[in-house]
Structure 1
Amino acid sequence: MQDSAIETNRNAVAGAPQSEEAMQQVPAVLSPPVLCCYVNPSKRIQVVRLSHLSEGEWEHILFPAQQFMFEAPPEAMLEVYKSPTLSVTPPEYIPCHGLRVQTD
């Protein structure tokens, strides 16, 4: 299962850069959460943030090659900050439906 989660993550990241406009298009009513997985593919620490949740938002620090599993609505977006300072470069937005773990 871990290999499929990592492959799902790689596929999502490859076509993932989303604009801030895409982040604003999250619907008001969200679907039930699904299990998601993101792996930091870089050699740097990343900060990931998930917002637009009914219970607020959260941030998590990921070290290089660290795998992070979480639950989120498929419509939500994971913000990935690759710069040491969050304000230097804009985040990459990855749709959570692309990070979904295949459990079949």
Structure 2
Amino acid sequence: MTKSQGVVYQPPLDTESEEILCQYVNATSHLQVIKINNIDNYDWEKVVFPGQRILFNTFKRAELSIYSTAQINTILIDTIDCKKLKVDE
């Protein structure tokens, strides 16, 4: 897979939540780990390479936590509401 290609992930169905298509781009020169873990029974994690774009479906209330692996350990660098990452279709 090249950097210009995205990866699409489909979450399990949740009839109480609206799903949205989101996009995240790792604009750094470091490997990142992104996670959604603020929703009960829904833990999702992906490794994102420098320059990689990832598309994913998730719940509107989800929060994306972004961890940098620039050092020997992983550090939380940001948390973004997935509503802000929504792709306009």
In the alignment, what sits opposite 2:62?
A: 76
Once the two structures are TM-superposed, the CA of residue 72 in structure 1 deviates from its matched residue by: 1.1
State TM-score, norm by structure 2.
0.71
Q: Point out where structure 2 has 5 or more consecutive residues left out of the alignment.
A: 1-15
Counting matched residue pairs gives 73
What is the distance in 2 between the residues matched to 1:97 and 1:51? 15
For 1:25-40, list aligned pairs within 5 A.
31-40=17-26
Structure 2 counterpart SS, 1:97: helix
Give 1 or 2: higher strand fraction: 2
For 1:1-104, list aligned pairs within 5 A.
31-84=17-70, 85-86=73-74, 89-103=75-89
After superposing on structure 2, the runs of 4+ consecutive aligned residues of structure 1 that deviate more than 4 Å are none
Once the two structures are TM-superposed, the CA of residue 55 in structure 1 deviates from its matched residue by: 4.3
Give 1 or 2: higher helix fraction: 1
In the alignment, what sits opposite 1:7?
A: none
Once the two structures are TM-superposed, the CA of residue 54 in structure 1 deviates from its matched residue by: 4.9
Once the two structures are TM-superposed, the CA of residue 48 in structure 1 deviates from its matched residue by: 0.3
State TM-score, norm by structure 1.
0.62
In the alignment, what sits opposite 1:3?
A: none
Q: Point out where structure 1 has 5 or more consecutive residues left out of the alignment.
A: 1-29
In the alignment, what sits opposite 1:26?
A: none
What is the distance in 2 between the residues matched to 1:83 and 1:61? 10
What is the distance in 2 between the residues matched to 1:51 and 1:33? 16
Letter in 2 for 1:98: K
Once the two structures are TM-superposed, the CA of residue 31 in structure 1 deviates from its matched residue by: 2.6
